[in-house]
Every structure is written in C-alpha cells, then in structure tokens.
Amino acid sequence: MIIVTGGAGFIGSAFVWKLNAEGIDDIVIVDRLGTSEKWKNLVGLRYTDYLHRDAFLNMVTDDAVPFEVSAIVHMGACSSTIERDADFLWTNNFAYTRTLAAWALKRHTRFIYASSAATYGDGTQGFSDDHEKIPALKPINMYGYSKQVFDLWVLRQKLASQVAGIKFFNVFGPNEYHKGDMASVIFKSFHQIKQTGQVKLFKSYLPQYDDGGQMRDFVYVKDCVNAIWWLLQNPGVNGIFNLGTGRARTWNDLLNAVFNAMDIEPNIEYIEMPESLRNQYQYFTQAEMTKLRSAGCPAAFSSLEDSVKDYITRYLQKSDPHLGNS
C-alpha cells in the first residue's frame, strides 16, 4: 500500500493520477477535505481508502496502522506562503512530517516528502541543493521556514541517506483549482482574461528588473509527478533535491504564453504591489538541477509554452478540468 498525504490536494492528487496511469491503485489518500472543493480532485481517481489526516496521525502515533505500507509520499502541508499562524505551520508542516518520517524509517518504509523553494528566501544565498549549503538559507516567510526546519532536522539527524526531500519551485497545472489565492498566476490570469481581456501584474521595485521582468522557475505538475515516480522506483536515491526546470522565465513570458494559448492579443497592466508583500517578494528563482540529474533521474521538462498550452487547452477550457477525468 502506498500512502499519499495531501492526496486530495494539488500535487498529491496529481501523483495519485500518475500512480493510476502506472497501473497502481493500492493507495490510501490522507487529507483534510473540510468544506473545500478538493474532493473534486478525487473524482475519477482509483484508490483503496481515504483517511482524515488526524485519524492517520493517531494510527501512526498509536502504532496501529492496519495495513502494510510500502511507501509514504508526504505531500500534505499548509502551502500558503502568506499564512501568519506560526504555531499552525510548525505543527502541520514540521511536527507532523517528523512523526511520519520517524515511523517510516523505523519500518524501513520509503519516505518521500515535499520541501519548497521558499526555503531559499530572497535568493541571495543561491539555489543550490547541496546539503552543506542548506543550513545557511534564510527563508523570508514562516511557510518557507516551516519547510526549512524539517530539512535541517533531516540533515542533523543524518537521515539524508534514507529519505528523499523535494524542493518544489513554481509548480502549476491541473488540480490546483481549490487553492484560491495560492493558485498559480496561469490559473488566475486565464480567468482574468476571460472576464476582462486583460491581466494585472505587480510592478518591479528593483531597477535591474523591468515591470513583468521578475523571473521564476515555472514547472508543470505533470513533469513533477514523473520525477516523484522515478524517486519512488529508485529507493536507493536519497537526499534533498531541487525540482524545477532549471531555467528561469519572466512573468511577461508566462503571460504571453497564456494569451497565445487562448489566441488573444497580450494586454498586461502593471499595478502597485501591496506594501505587506514587498519585503517577502522573490524577484528571481531558478533550480539548480545537476544533483537530481546526476542521481540518474531523466528530469525531462516541457517548455513553458508547451506546458501552458497543455494546461489551458486540455484542462482550463474544459467543463470538468480535473486530471482524473482527462
């Protein structure tokens, strides 16, 4: 049995979709559905059971998990970069992960977990996933710090040779529809363009970046789940790895790709960024991908233009855009 925590969320449900495509449905999904629309991500997917995250944690702490587990793919976390409740983030993103990791390691069970490129902070320390450089990173929000703390725990406990952590960069694609403010700019801009024919982007406040010239490493969720699948198939490959394309692109590039996929002439308005975000804004991210590739991962990534076109034409423009129905 494979446990996928956050299995109704964005990357988690996409990975269940990938497992199904590989003929695997002995899957237990762990999540918290609440009143959100995440449940729609499960429609069309094949899995054995669903457990509330608290119920699963109780099973783990009581040593009462009622089935054999071959792997835990831990994608469950609060992914909001603007969450202000530090205690919640500490409990949900660090303590929960630590408990699951300890349980898995005790049983020699494959453990793959989600870290984040938010750990790199403003980028002044670079974007190297070299274990010796990770302790020097200084996240600029509590979300990034909650991910950094677990990475540091792995390194200090000398567990990097036994688990696989993934620092996701700017992931976009189907099944992010429930994420609200945390949904990708592609998702938001698609709907802005449909409603107004225009997209609004934050201005740049650094002279070296033109408006819309701020850069990110945008990576398609389908490419991400291929990499996770490879890690699942190669349990001897461990450590903390970046997962991005390795090529930064501008917001203008991204939005031009959206307009082109929708066959609409680009129309971008640059607006003021809220004061509260200016000190937490990343102007440049780009994954160093040498480490994962050197480990043997094929790590093939679609171009930004092809990924955006696939997302828009095969999903966003459909009446039921979820991966399980594609």
Residue in 18, 147, 179, 222 annotated catalytic: 179
Lowest mean pLDDT across 76-90, 226-240, 243-257 = 76-90
pLDDT tens-digit readout, 63-110: 999 999 999 999 998 888 878 889 999 999 999 999 999 999 999 999
- What's the pLDDT tens digit per position in 23-55? 999 999 999 999 989 999 999 999 999 999 999
Provide φ and ψ at 115, rounded to 5°. Answer: -100, -155
Tell me the mean pLDDT in the region 308-315. Answer: 97
Q: What is the pLDDT of residue 171?
A: 97
Residue of 132, 140, 141, 163 whose CA lies nearest to 150: 163
Distance in angstroms (rounded) separating the CA atoms of residues 76 and 86: 17
Q: Is 179 a catalytic residue?
A: yes
Average pLDDT on 13-20 reads 98
Q: Report pLDDT for 325.
A: 78
Does residue 83 or residue 167 have the better pLDDT?
167
Nearest alpha-carbon partner for 127 in 241, 293, 288? 288
Looking at the predicted structure, is the pLDDT value of residue 279 above 90?
A: no
Q: How far is CA 53 from the centre of its chain?
A: 18
Indicate which residue of 96, 143, 311, 315 is catalytic. Answer: 143
The CATH architecture to which 2-173+218-244+286-301 belongs is 3-Layer(aba) Sandwich (3.40)
Q: Structural domain boundaries of the chain?
A: 2-173+218-244+286-301
All residues at 6 or more sequence positions from 236 whose CB lies less than 8 Å from its CB, including other chains: none
Give me the chain's average pLDDT, please. Answer: 95
Q: Which amino acid is at 213?
A: G
| Confidence (pTM) | 0.95
Structure tokens at 165: 């952590």
Q: Answer yes or no: is pLDDT of 260 > 90.
A: yes
The arithmetic mean of pLDDT across residues 199-205, rounded, is: 94
- pLDDT tens digits for 141-151? 999 999 999 99
Task: Tell me what pLDDT residue 56 has.
Answer: 97
Is the pLDDT at 271 greater than 80? The verdict is yes
Q: Are 287 and 167 in contact (CB under 8 A)?
A: yes
Establish whether 143 is a catalytic residue.
Answer: yes
Neighbours of 298 (CB within 10 A): 10
The reported pLDDT for the residue numbered 79 is: 83
